[in-house]
Structure 1
Amino acid sequence: MRITLKCLLMSCSLLIAVDASAQIPTLAKCTRSANLLACVDADGNAYSVNTVGSTIYLRGFEVIGKRYWAQTSSRYGQLTFFTGLASDGEAWVGYSRRVGWTTINRFSSSGGSSAKFTCSRIAGC
């Protein structure tokens, strides 16, 4: 779940988590409408992003854990709060804060995962 959460936090534009042993990342195939982006990657993971005003709704299916998940994010200026729930009962909360070209991210989950990491437009995460 930690990889999935980090990817969701890195960008709402859906960065793909790639196996550390992979040499060339596999990109997801996506379909887009006015407010909805739906993607499926080569491993069978599926996810969608729907925006309504300053709220972002994420839904997906994680092949490795064989579980569905949903996350809601609300933006208030430079701060974005999010909460999520997976079909196995795991829940998570966190926030992202933009400071210039840097994003400070923090999350914790009921499964015991927690992290704080910083992303930059230039250097990445």
Structure 2
Amino acid sequence: MKLPCALALLLIVTPAHLLALPQTNLALCTRSATLLACKDGNGNYYSVRSEGSSLYLRGFEAASKRLWAQTNTGYGPTTFYTGLASDGEAWFGYSRRVGWTTLNRVSSSSGQRFNLHCSLIGGCR
């Protein structure tokens, strides 16, 4: 099997250490049947635990030294989520599937709000 000339040239001019190094910005994770726990190269960590139709998330943002927790609970095509951070910020939101579209709405105690509509065909807006 012959490599196309452009690909062969790219492999020749790329330093070998760049081809062999793992991505250091990826999170390292471990999991069990109901728990996923990860830590990234910046010192952030999070965990996700599933129980029935609920997900329990916890995390730590290294830059802000902020702990947070969020609970997601699904009822049919709608998932409600509530969260609280160690700096006092709280948030509430929901995601609802309608056909191939997901409607998302979030509000936080800091006054931030956003709506996000995502579809398989049109992407997110």
TM-score, scaled to structure 1: 0.73
* Deviation of the 1:49 alpha carbon: 0.5
Deviations 1:2-31 (CA, angstroms, capped at 9, x unpaired): xxxxxxxxxxxxxxxxxxxxxx99332211
Matched, 1:87 2:86: yes
For 1:101, the equivalent position in structure 2 comes to 100
Q: Which runs of 5+ in 2 are unaligned?
A: 1-22
Report how far residue 98 of structure 1 moved.
1.1
* Residue of structure 2 equivalent to 1:46: 45
State the Cα RMSD in Å: 2.0
Q: Which structure ranks higher in relative contact order (CA pairs < 8 Å, sequence separation ≥ 6)?
A: 1
Q: Using the alignment, how far apart are the partners of 2:49 and 2:123 within structure 1?
A: 24
Q: Percent identity?
A: 65
More helix by share: 2
Q: Map 1:103-122 onto structure 2 (within 5 A).
A: 103-121=102-120
1:119, CA displacement in angstroms? 2.5
Measured after TM superposition, the shift of residue 101 of structure 1 is 2.9
Structure 1 position 111, deviation (Å): 1.1
Q: Secondary structure at the match of 2:87?
A: coil
Q: Distance in 2 between matches of 1:52 and 1:79?
A: 17
Give the number of equivalent residue pairs: 102
**CA-CA distance at 1:124 after TM superposition:** 4.8
Aligned in 2, Cα 1:45/1:78: closer, same or farther, shift over 3 Å?
same
CA displacement at 1:123 relative to structure 2: 5.7
1:63 alignment partner in structure 2: 62
Q: Match of 1:21?
A: none
Distance 1:25 1:117, change over 3 A: farther
TM-score by structure 2 length? 0.73
2: distance between equivalents of 1:79 and 1:73?
10
Larger radius of gyration: 2
Q: What is the alpha-carbon distance in structure 2 between the residues aligned to residue 63 and residue 123 of structure 1?
A: 35
